[in-house]
Chains A and B, each alone.
Chain A
């Protein structure tokens, strides 16, 4: 059974720092992996989608990497800003199922 883990559960960093969020999954036979952002009380906003054949995707200050063999993905946020404060979730897509991690709550300190 596929399990998705996100560590740490919460993270606080000063504004301007670069940071990395981690996502690990137990079964490497995935189709793709998607990173989402969720603001308090809101729905999920898609950030990046990485196909299983890809190693990374970039959008602005965000870079997501995927290492299927080790069952890991990272979301790199450059030059963090207070507006980046939110919960970040990764979702693994495999066997027509989408499995979410519990998310990392990120707080950027002004």
Chain B
């Protein structure tokens, strides 16, 4: 069964350091999402891509977060510098046709701990 791949699964870093997460969506899925989930909360959208274009990054803290999907396939989410409040699970998801009738498939997530 096709999966959304994410790495690393776990990352521990000190504040002010840079950190990057990688996501490879299901082959052929045009839409890719990055979510942040704080413990005990639901996921919150950080950025949504349609192919290589950003569709929604209104909730992305652009002073420290950046995301790219240069070839419209895999994607990287970067945080620089990391802050204590960035400790969370970072989830990547993909769907075949954007928000709508299609099932959203999530990866296993990348858990970030900032010390």
Residues on A close to B: CB < 8 A? 4, 31-32, 34, 36, 41-46, 49, 51, 89, 91, 93, 96-98, 100-103
In the complex, whether B100 has a CB less than 8 A from a CB of chain A is: yes
Whether A102 touches B40, Cβ cut-off 8 Å, given contacts A42-B108, A96-B55, A97-B45, is yes
Interface residues of chain B, those whose CB is within 8 Å of chain A, are 4, 6, 33, 40-45, 55-56, 89, 91, 93, 98-101, 103-109, 111
Distance to closest chain A CB from B9 (angstroms): 9
Main secondary structure of the interface of A (DSSP, over half): strand
List the A side residues contacting B55 at CB < 8 Å. Answer: 96
- What's the least CB distance linking B109 to chain A, in Å? 4
Q: Tally of A-B residue pairs with Cβ under 8 A?
A: 58
Q: Which of B42, B93, B99, B106 contacts A93 (CB 8 A)?
A: B99
Chain A residues lying within 8 Å of B107, measured Cβ to Cβ, are 43
21 A-B pairs, CB-CB below 8 angstroms?
A: A31-B101, A41-B109, A42-B109, A43-B106, A43-B107, A43-B109, A44-B43, A44-B106, A46-B104, A51-B101, A89-B42, A89-B43, A91-B42, A96-B55, A98-B33, A98-B99, A100-B44, A101-B42, A102-B40, A102-B42, A103-B42
